[in-house]
Amino acid sequence: MALRAVVSPSSAAPAALHLFRRILREVPRVLVLYDLDMSITDARRRVRDAFKQNAWVNDERAIRVLCHKAETELEEATLQYKTKAQLMTFLEPRDHTLKQEKAMRDENYAFYAGYKPFV
């Protein structure tokens, strides 16, 4: 049984870089298509941050999967298969939902979260 030759992750890097540039070129079009009130710079910064989150990935297959997912997301956005809410979830992610924020304002939140001992 023959084993596949080990390929360096750098072979997937040009494809990821090309995809990154394609996405950055499409950002203004997507903002206009969905009538989003966001600057092009902010949207591009969010895309850059999403790519930086996965910069540590070294496995070529994982890089290919991530690139495929990003290509699919880009295609769905440009063909208007996504809703405005889906795009805003990506472009303006929230740390917590409104329900979670309300729960955190509750006086017993620290106790339930395990931060404050019961006295």
Number of domains in the chain: 1
More confident residue, 4 or 23: 23
Query: Span 27-34, mean pLDDT?
Result: 96
pLDDT tens readout for residues 35-67? 999 999 999 999 999 999 888 888 899 999 999
- Stretch 79-99: mean pLDDT, rounded? 85
The verdict on residue 116 lying in a domain is no
CA atoms within 13 Å, Cβ hemisphere of 46: 15
Radius of gyration of the chain from Cα atoms?
Answer: 20
Whole-prediction pTM: 0.70
Residue 109 lies in a domain: no
Residue 55 covered by a domain: yes
Residue type, 24: L
Using an 8 Å Cβ cutoff, are 44 and 91 in contact?
Answer: no
pLDDT tens, position by position, 68-82: 999 999 999 999 999
Contact of 79 with 73, CB cutoff 8 Å: no
pLDDT score of 3 more than 80: no
In percent, the amount of the chain with pLDDT more than 90 equals 55
Q: Is 93 left (phi over 0), alpha (psi -120 to 50) or beta?
A: beta
Q: Residue 40: which domain range?
A: 10-94
Per the domain annotation, does 3 fall within a domain? no
> Tokens 């019961």 belong to which residue?
118
The type of residue at 1 is M
Buried-exposed string 95-107: b where 16+ CB fall within 10 A, e elsewhere: eeeeeeeeeeeee
- Asked if the structure places residue 108 within a domain, the reply is no
